[in-house]
Structure 1
């Protein structure tokens, strides 16, 4: 709850972060696919033209429209917007990516689908657990225009696309030990683990736990007074973890006893400043943040250190493979579309 980045941003990154290609960053494919065949009353009044087709599938304008809406909703959830005058270019890009997604899904083997299901189940479970409750997770999905079922379908489709790409492309990419060491030697700053602290905290939330709206001034004063009283009990030697269990309103406290290990820049500023100023086993003053009032106890200071090559070589190798893969993807997708003999009725051909 005290993380600097909002959960509405972080859960989408965690869910889709493992995929090398998604139909569009932030685009809820499950939503698009789910709605694709259902004509609304407005659609019944206007022709739903085919805008891309192969021997295996067709994509209609309504699907592109839904993709555009879903894309806008996804951006809105991250407090971002797109200029309306970019709609034509964005729709063209979305159409290309919808086509590639359908081609990839059509190339999936039984093994691809099995592995995709296993991966998607883990990702969905992780996404749910990143929220205080399953109800809050569903509420967040609703804000982006998706049901839980549509979200699950989206993740499965994305995982399936990744498995096809991994089988057809990623498996052919190799990175030598010398390339790994060269990257390690040329990027020393990337492999320095910054100073961190391990600290526990008790949160007295100044946001309504259900609506997330700010409490009244009177209610905040009650929370501040209670925080001061509990801090005094901690100073008097009462078990801090017991006080966490009794008083903390941080949803994460039930899983981690209110304890976090973090570097600078990972928590809201007032919390970070207070935590890094403490000595080991010292209890802070009452600290106010946008989330409420905190009492912090520092458990450990972890000094910065340079990581050994052996500790990071696996991650470096995977990162270099992903870099090479991203460079190869545009050409790979062009080959897929050419092999599928994709037609775009109504699209002007390049001179």
Structure 2
């Protein structure tokens, strides 16, 4: 749970609202106006109101993300999550207010590009307008919210990111201390042919599917190209790549498939493998043993991570002081 919230908080500190992490509509919803008047705001920051509707939208987004990861909140966790969401909204408002003091207006051109990309998700302009209407939004309200995010990002880059350096000694020390992060497990690069079988398939359908996979196996044995057969006959979307699944480690595939793939030598083709998806033929292209990623390969990533860490620390220090100086009122979490 703690790591989940570090991730969310990092997004906020980088001046991207939590609602932007998922989709444009969620980000835009931050600017929506509720028809029903609110009796009590979630918080006020130097006279600026954080509405209950804003808080509820953020909470809904967080709940959805946690549910997607299979995490159900206990009562204690829910209270903690509410506290963190409220503080994140306050943090974001403080950063925005600071951006305005320093004259940052946001990148209007980049925002227009974001909106254009969002529009492309809809088949027609009418569908786009209907989506906005259903969320009680306008394109201007979306633009305003994204410009706010952009202004915060400009502040962060100018005030907190500028001048940060990471030495070779720091990256090497991180690599040594966190060596476990750079271990790659044994991996297999394979392609497959799938003849799918529905869970409720009849005996005749299963028999037909088995005959098809057996016939394909015979064709492979005769020397026909596995990738070509996969492209023409597989029921898996990977057929567009000749059945290529790329590299995968143990635990990423269903067990019968995994067991067969890891037991094969490069170039070998499996017997028919049955899984809940149907019948498979598997061809192993390449195998890689467990290995440690060389320092030279990960040094740029480590350096970037440490730079962001230092920047985050600067932002945290700013927010700690800003909260002391600001006039903030909060609604009790139990009332939210």
Cα distance in 2 for residues equivalent to 1:228 and 1:172 = 64
Give the CA RMSD over aligned residues. 4.4
Match of 1:301 among 267, 284, 287: 287
Partner of 2:270: 284
Q: Which runs of 5+ in 2 are unaligned?
A: 1-6, 124-130
Deviation by residue 1:1-35 (Cα, 9 ceiling, x = unmatched): xxxxxxxxxxxx9xx98985765597778537526
Cα distance in 2 for residues equivalent to 1:309 and 1:198 = 24
Q: CA deviation at 1:344?
A: 1.6
Match of 1:262 among 220, 230, 248: 248
Partner of 1:10: none
Match of 2:201 among 216, 219, 223: 216
Q: CA deviation at 1:252?
A: 3.7
Matched, 1:272 2:258: yes
> Does the CA-based 8 Å contact 1:200-1:259 persist in structure 2?
yes
Q: CA deviation at 1:306?
A: 4.0
Match of 1:204 among 189, 195, 206: 195
Compute the TM-score of the two structures, normalised by the length of structure 2.
0.70
> Does the CA-based 8 Å contact 1:50-1:60 persist in structure 2?
yes
Q: 1:287 to 1:169 in 2, by over 3 A?
A: farther
> Does the CA-based 8 Å contact 2:217-2:281 persist in structure 1?
yes
Instruction: Provide the secondary structure at the position in 1 that maps to 2:248.
Output: strand
Deviation by residue 1:63-106 (Cα, 9 ceiling, x = unmatched): 22232233223322333221245544433321221232344455
List aligned pairs for 1:182-197, cutoff 5 A: 182-197=173-188
Q: 1:285 to 1:84 in 2, by over 3 A?
A: same
Deviation by residue 1:282-311 (Cα, 9 ceiling, x = unmatched): 111222334333211111223444443322
> Does the CA-based 8 Å contact 1:105-1:157 persist in structure 2?
yes
> Does the CA-based 8 Å contact 2:271-2:281 persist in structure 1?
yes
> Does the CA-based 8 Å contact 2:164-2:310 persist in structure 1?
yes
Deviation by residue 1:116-163 (Cα, 9 ceiling, x = unmatched): 777x69x98xxx9xxxxx9xxxxxxx9xx99xx99x989997777555
Partner of 1:247: 233
User: Across the two proteins, how many residue pairs are aligned to each other?
Assistant: 304
Partner of 1:175: 166
Pick which of 17-26 and 66-75 moved more. 17-26
Compute the TM-score of the two structures, normalised by the length of structure 1.
0.67
Cα distance in 1 for residues equivalent to 2:151 and 2:272 = 49
Instruction: Provide the secondary structure at the position in 2 that maps to 1:169.
Output: helix
Partner of 2:128: none
> Does the CA-based 8 Å contact 1:199-1:297 persist in structure 2?
yes
Instruction: Provide the secondary structure at the position in 1 that maps to 2:42.
Output: strand
Q: Which runs of 5+ in 1 are unaligned?
A: 1-12, 129-133, 135-141, 208-213
Deviation by residue 1:232-255 (Cα, 9 ceiling, x = unmatched): 221221111111111222224325
Q: 1:82 to 1:305 in 2, by over 3 A?
A: closer
Larger Rg: 2
Matched, 1:31 2:26: yes
Q: 1:111 to 1:89 in 2, by over 3 A?
A: closer
Match of 1:315 among 288, 293, 301: 301
Instruction: Provide the secondary structure at the position in 2 that maps to 1:50.
Output: coil
